[in-house]
Structure 1
Amino acid sequence: MTLPLKNVHAGVAPSWWPPAPGWWLVTAGVLALVAVGCWLWRRRRRRHAALLRLFDDAVAGAGSPVQQVAAMSELLRRAARRIKPEADRLDGEAWLRFLDDGLKHPAFVHGPGALLGDGGFRPDVDPAAVEALRVVARQRYLDWMRRA
């Protein structure tokens, strides 16, 4: 005896909503990664702004251009200790070469940064030279503080 076969019909395709539990986990993981990334980015920007504010406030708090040069030198020496612990003991040409180490365009031995060598000991310093020094010293300070 043969049984008659009935037509087989394909079932209804599952709906795309609601997604399967695995997709909810994937979505939660991606959102968590995005949230952590945003938090790290924001933290880095705040730290960057705080370092710049610290440098600018210390230099602005110094009265005369000579005192501003001394304040920049002190900040750079503090930052240098984070890179190399004995770097704050360097002086003269060795200190300026250390400041130039790793820069694409050296600015301390033969540039506006050379003022750090003796600018803090002069009776008078050109304010334009101090401003040029401030630009390169600020960038070097920020580089060192972010690296370590």
Structure 2
Amino acid sequence: MTPTDPLAQLNPLREAQPIGWWPPAPGWWLAAVLLLLAACWALWWLWRRHRRNAYRRQGLAQLAAITGEWQAHGDSAATLADTNALLKAVALQAYPAREVAAATGAAWCELLNRGMDNRHQFSAATLQAQYHPQADASDVDAHLQRARYWIRHHRGQHD
């Protein structure tokens, strides 16, 4: 008897079948559901934010029209009056009506300046210049810039 190699008598090893990607494990299903819920919440939040800021977009469009009128005609009293009326309309959308409607003079200036840094604060003199027979045109451009900044950056009741 001749001794044979015992390893040569073994059958070849069977390889395991590759693991398929379908169906996913329960953890992946949970991750997919959570990701879908997060995406739906983000879209809902963006849609609400877009709707909530519609008054800002309208205000900026009206301010652009007022600026165009100012550049075309140079009527500082009308520009200041129109800008002040626009600021009041925008503020009525952002704050309680009883707080905005009653605000005049220093109270109106304080309401507009609330939360603004010193570079973008309105002056009471410019806000009331529309009531003077000859409004000073020197500060109208700066006033329009402040109004644009305020419309974009004020913190309203719902912000």
**Same structural fold, with TM-score higher than 0.5 when normalized by the shorter chain:** yes
Unaligned runs of 5+ in 2: 1-10
SS of residue matched to 1:120: helix
Q: CA deviation at 1:61?
A: 4.3
**Given the superposition, is the C-alpha separation of residues 49 and 32 from structure 1 closer, same or farther in structure 2, using an over 3 Å criterion?**
farther
- Give the AA of the match of 1:103: M
1:44 is aligned to 50
In structure 1, what is the Cα distance between the partners aligned to 2:155 and 2:86? 10
User: Structure 1-normalised TM-score?
Assistant: 0.64
1:53 is aligned to 61
- Give the AA of the match of 1:91: T
- Give the AA of the match of 1:73: N
Unaligned runs of 5+ in 1: 1-5
State which of 87, 97, 117 in structure 2 corresponds to 1:85: 97
**Given the superposition, is the C-alpha separation of residues 145 and 73 from structure 1 closer, same or farther in structure 2, using an over 3 Å criterion?**
farther
| Identical aligned residues as a percent | 22
Q: Aligned-pair RMSD on alpha carbons? A: 3.8
**Given the superposition, is the C-alpha separation of residues 21 and 50 from structure 1 closer, same or farther in structure 2, using an over 3 Å criterion?**
farther
Q: CA deviation at 1:137?
A: 1.5
Q: CA deviation at 1:9?
A: 4.8
Q: CA deviation at 1:116?
A: 0.6
* Aligned residue pairs, count: 137
| 1:56-77 C-alpha deviation (Å, 9 max, x unpaired) | 2245346511111001111111
1:102 is aligned to 115
In structure 2, what is the Cα distance between the partners aligned to 1:122 and 1:67? 11
- Give the AA of the match of 2:107: A
Contact 1:69-1:120 within 8 A present in 2 as well: yes
Contact 1:51-1:142 within 8 A present in 2 as well: no
**Given the superposition, is the C-alpha separation of residues 124 and 89 from structure 1 closer, same or farther in structure 2, using an over 3 Å criterion?**
same
In structure 2, what is the Cα distance between the partners aligned to 1:125 and 1:26? 64
